Amino acid sequence: MIRIVARVVAIALVALPVTFVVTFLLMPLWSWIESRFHIESVGHSGPANWCFFIVYATLVVIGLALQYRRMRSSGPLYKSSS
């Protein structure tokens, strides 16, 4: 169980720096969203906070899904003590 928690924490931590890079690379998307839907997404100092949250949540969900898929393909989580 500790290994699973450690993997989830590792995914969340690795996603942080990647989030900043990906969010700034998506500046054309955020600008388009702002002009098209009139949702404040780009300020004078970069993307809005919600842009970072969306990218972070997406990366964490993808990371957890990949980890879950990897764990499912490697066999049972817990060994039975029979």
Mind listing the pLDDT tens digit for each residue in 3-54?
889 999 999 999 999 999 999 999 999 999 999 999 999 999 999 999 999 9
What confidence tier does 81 reach under pLDDT thresholds 50, 70, 90? Answer: low
Q: For the whole model, what pTM was predicted? A: 0.84
- 55 touches 23 (CB < 8 A): yes
Q: d(Cα 34, Cα 1) in Å, to the nearest integer?
A: 43
Q: Is the pLDDT of residue 77 over 70?
A: no
Please report where in the chains the tokens 């054309």 appear, as a residue.
Answer: 28
- Alpha helix (H) ranges present in the chain? 2-25, 27-37, 49-73
For the chain, domain boundaries: 2-73
